[in-house]
Amino acid sequence: RLTTTAVNSAEVASKADISNQYGVQLAKAQGHVNGFVGAIGNTPLIRLKRLSDETGCEILGKAEFQNPGGSVKDRAALYVVKDAEEKGQLRPGGTVVEGTAGNTGIGLAHVCRSKGYQLVIYMPNTQSQGKVDLLRLLGAEVYPVPAVAFENPENYNHQAKRHAERLENAVWTNQFDNIANRRAHLETTGPEIWNQTDGKIDAFTCATGTGGTLAGVTRYLKDVSDGRVRTFLADPPGSVLHSYITSGGQLKERTGSSITEGIGQGRITDNLKPDIDLLDGALHVSDERSIEMVYRCLDEEGLYLGASSCLNVAATKEVAEKLGQGNTVVTILCDGAYRYADRLFSRTWLSDKNLLRAIPAHLSKYIVL
């Protein structure tokens, strides 16, 4: 169904102007790409068969786990480095410094190796040794530091900033408030989704860590469709954004936590700020619903996905049900389950989190660890 052109050609022509406005380089069929960075983006859009049949909608997931570093964050990593190069903050042989415990660090490590930069990572020392080891084997210099609040000057983000200031030819890429992150999705993810659906997209739903993905894709889809495409935030427990949006802009204090790593936010980042008012709504997704969807995506679609992807899928199903049959709703499949398998498929961990009961009996065969 996706190959049918749902918009008339005059409309398509005018939309091309929006692509030009954002400097979008749409990929042409090509035999090879140049290095790691050339392999970032242009991921497939996967139709989730069972959920589409169940809802009578087209539910489509952007396969960001197929990026060469394994997650949606490869796009932001490339853009923050390119931005620093363009601004003259990073010259050959320079150093990138970032505060991150997750996918951004992995994306940056690959991008930095590929472009010949050094990478320094600060992270809270509560993170697993596995993450530290992976970043080190990808060539990064890693500093685990005490896990203190953002307000404390010893917080890992501030330490990363100070480290970059002490070095010559170095940049703190600052993924949360550096809008080159949002631009990655405005110039690549958003246009890819529009083209892969031939403009036949009614809604987009996704969760937020830095906000880059949601903000960039929202801005592009709103502009290209003259506001027709509806966009929604999906939020885990312990994040303040859902209540911020549904209360009309009241920011409450952050409490609670979620099993969905990499998402949830306690403030309106600079990446979110320009676009948060464009959103049509927000959905809260419990950990029970996210973990159930991890098992359903595996069983029904053969998709081995991390919890943030499955929170996105659960929220997208809800949006599809609200909009009604015949709508096309797109979301982001952020990364695979590989880095989280020892938790997501462990009976002990599920039991500790009180999530065993969220797994339907016929799916318990996947609890193998």
Contact between residue 74 and residue 68 where contact means Cβ atoms under 8 Å apart: yes
**Phi and psi dihedrals of 230, rounded to 5?**
-90, 140
Q: Which candidate, 92, 105, 240, places its Cα nearest to that of 160?
A: 105
- 41, 199, 212, 264: residue in contact with ligand PMP (rule CB under 6 A): 212
Stretch touching ligand PMP by CB under 6 A, among 194-202, 207-215, 236-244, 280-288? 207-215
Binders of ligand PMP among 243-282, rule CB under 6 A?
A: 261-263
Contact flag: residue 306 with ligand PMP (CB under 6 A): yes
Contact flag: residue 231 with ligand PMP (CB under 6 A): no
Report the C-alpha gap between 264 and 256 in whole angstroms. 10
- 210, 225, 239, 327: residue in contact with ligand PMP (rule CB under 6 A): 210
For 142: left if phi > 0, alpha if psi spans -120 to 50, otherwise beta; the answer is beta
**Residues touching ligand PMP: how many (CB under 6 A)?**
20
329-368 mask for ligand PMP (x: CB under 6 A)?
Answer: -----xx---------------------------------
For the stretch 9-48, what's the b/e string if a residue is b when 16 or more beta carbons lie within 10 angstroms of its beta carbon? Answer: eeeeeebeebbeebebeeeeeeeeeeebbebbbebebeeb
- 105, 209, 264, 336: residue in contact with ligand PMP (rule CB under 6 A): 209
CB atoms within 10 A of CB 134: 16
- 70, 102, 190, 336: residue in contact with ligand PMP (rule CB under 6 A): 102
Report the C-alpha gap between 287 and 236 in whole angstroms. 7
Contact flag: residue 99 with ligand PMP (CB under 6 A): no
The closest residue (CB) to ligand PMP is 262
Residues for the chain: how many in total? Answer: 369
Q: Does the annotation count 15 as an active-site position?
A: no
**Looking at beta carbons only, is 98 or 261 nearer to ligand PMP?**
261
By annotation, the residues acting in catalysis are: 73
Q: Which residues bind ligand PMP (CB under 6 A)?
A: 71-73, 102-103, 207-214, 261-263, 306, 308, 334-335
